[in-house]
A and B are shown apart, each in its own frame.
Chain A
Amino acid sequence: MKKKLELENLTFIMPGFLIYLVFMFVPIALCLFYSLTNWDGISSSYKIIGLRNFSRIFSDVSFLESVKVTIIVTLTTSIIYNTLGIATAALLNYAGRAYNFCKSAVFLPAILSPVVVSFIWAYMTQTDGGIINHIITAVGMGPIDFFASKDAIAFTVSGVIAWAAFGFFTTVYIAALKTIPNELYESAKIDGAGIFKQFRNVTLPLLTPGITVNTILSVTWGLKQYDFIKVMAPNTVQTVTVNAIERAFDYNMMGYSSSIVLVLFVSIVVISLIQIFIMKKFEVEY
């Protein structure tokens, strides 16, 4: 009887498990193996060179530059989502038609493809004929070149990414705000707390689980960023993933690019764990 049950369970598990093994586990294992070789991805011969790829990474100028861009993107977007996002959520966390309209409007860009958003914003930010500069010159100021330097590009693209995903994070914050019981605000009011004091002493501490989720998500998304940079700034600025993909497929450095994505993967895991550790300290019970 028990044997038969186990066998039945196995038929439920096997199809998914095999797909996972072949299309997820094997590639990851291969990635680990490639990172220890000097394989170009094409030829049939390669040498195992140990950890030499990893030691090369940290003196590789183009990689380090991509790290800088990735950090700019991650920090800029994360700060926007988790400050303006909370404020917007607090403003919109009411019932009514006007509020629903605003919620839907803010969320709308989050359903669009990054490729679509990038093209629209490539037009918006043009120096000559772009909408933003059109408006700026109309009020009598000089046009801004959003693509003047590598840093400028990194910040411009960060702004675009933030525009696209802002509604997503705000919606998560609105959902988190709904979990805070109204009585807490009532009793805070009775104690004579003003709006800002209520926010500081009631909202913020009870919002911590939402903040944990959103900060971790925003940092992981930032570190993995590929599409927006690839479409808006082709061949000028690279994030770590753009750098790795280009190495793998355009420069035939399979081994080396495998070690880059592994370093990225480990960084994401470590940073997320640190964030969880820090945020745990702020969480309160009520």
Chain B
Amino acid sequence: MNKLLVNVKKFFLIVFSIIYLIPLYAAIVNSVKKYEDIIKSPLALPENFTLENFKLAYIRANIGSLYFNSFIITSISLLLIVFLASMLAYPIARNKNNVKYKILYIFILCGMMVPPQVVLIPSIKTLKFLNLLNTFPGIIFFYAGTYLSIGMFLYTAFIKTIPTSIEESGIIDGANKYTIFYKLIFPLLKPCTATVVIFLGMWIWNDFLPPMYILGSHKGRTITTGIYSAIGTFTTQWNIVFACVILASLPIIILYLFMQKQFQSGLTAGAIKG
């Protein structure tokens, strides 16, 4: 009896999960249908399967170059954040009783409370002053500045859990501080780096408002701002809209399917601590 009850519960949970994902199902099946078929039977499986929508979307929204732009922006921003934040966190974590480092820590931590919009509005002016507006370095530095606080916070907490005896063995061997950090400490930070990369990588890839204003409307759009403006020109052609939507999400969904556990723990850990 009890076993039956559990199975009934499981059955209902699975049914609810499937209902929960109907919007995604609709986006997927309708991206391979002709426009007339979407209007006629939006929830049915495709009668006349076609990849024409993807071809049209790929060409008209210039998806290839959007992928390239987003990939470059996301990966270089992440490299910069991982590099700067881990180095910054190291002396802070190792001098936790020193007042100077404590002040530095709190000063940088304050950045975590500031909404990106507060930074974005004046950033347009500072980036223009530095001749970085409408450039990739401009948005990359914007992300580095905005997300450095979270990165430093996560790394500092993590480095504190690593025993100092590891460095002491390096000091005896006569290695300098840089070698100790990159050869001994940095490899141990892998779990933390994974959190930072998944958490911030997803944010940067999916980000909408900053690239819209920092990169401007001419060229160098990211995948999100690119499909946003492309869809604006064919709003009601849902077959093409869905093809755009699927193309924009595909890289992240593929990564998610391969690393579900890391995504779930990385995203929640990043947000809770951050």
Which of B18-26, B46-54, B60-68, B189-197 is near enough to bind chain A?
A: B18-26
Give 1 or 0 for each of A181-201: 1 = CB within 8 Å of chain B CB. Answer: 000000000000000000000
- Please list the residues of chain B having a beta carbon within 8 angstroms of any beta carbon in chain A: 9-10, 13-14, 16-18, 20-24, 26-27, 39, 42-43, 80, 83-85, 87-88, 90-92, 95, 104, 108, 111, 113-126, 130, 141-142, 144-146, 148-149, 152, 176-177, 181, 202, 205-206, 208-209, 213, 223-224, 227-228, 231, 238, 241-242, 244-245, 248-249, 252-253, 256, 260, 263-265, 267-268, 271-272
Known contacts A114-B206, A172-B272; A16/B117 CB under 8 A: no
Known contacts A9-B91, A16-B88; A131/B14 CB under 8 A: no
Known contacts A102-B14, A115-B228, A123-B238; A175/B268 CB under 8 A: yes
Contacts of A114 in B (CB 8 A): 206, 208
Known contacts A20-B149, A112-B252, A261-B118; A27/B108 CB under 8 A: no
CB A220 to nearest CB in B, in angstroms, measures: 8
Contact A24 B146 (CB under 8 A): yes
CB A85 to nearest CB in B, in angstroms, measures: 12
Given contacts A30-B122, A224-B115, A265-B115, 7 further A-B contacts (CB under 8 A): A12-B177, A16-B108, A22-B141, A98-B14, A112-B206, A120-B26, A171-B268
The count of chain A contact residues (Cβ–Cβ below 8 Å) is 77
Measured in the bound complex, the distance between the Cα atoms of B24 and A248 in whole Å is 35
Contacts of B108 in A (CB 8 A): 16-17, 20
Q: Is A226 an interface residue (CB 8 A)?
A: yes
Contact B17 A12 (CB under 8 A): no
- Please list the residues of chain A having a beta carbon within 8 angstroms of any beta carbon in chain B: 8-9, 12-13, 15-17, 19-20, 22-28, 30-31, 34, 41, 91-92, 96, 98-99, 101-116, 119-121, 123-124, 129, 131, 134, 163, 168, 171-172, 175, 213, 217, 223-224, 226-227, 230-231, 241, 244-245, 248-249, 254, 257-258, 261-262, 264-265, 268-269, 272
In the complex, which of the residues A106, A258, A265 contacts B122, with contact meaning CB atoms closer than 8 Å? A258
Contact A19 B115 (CB under 8 A): no
A-B contact pairs, 26 of them (CB 8 A): A8-B176, A13-B104, A16-B108, A20-B108, A23-B146, A26-B126, A27-B125, A27-B126, A34-B121, A92-B13, A98-B13, A101-B14, A104-B260, A108-B256, A113-B224, A114-B208, A115-B228, A119-B227, A131-B42, A226-B208, A244-B117, A245-B120, A245-B121, A248-B121, A264-B118, A265-B114
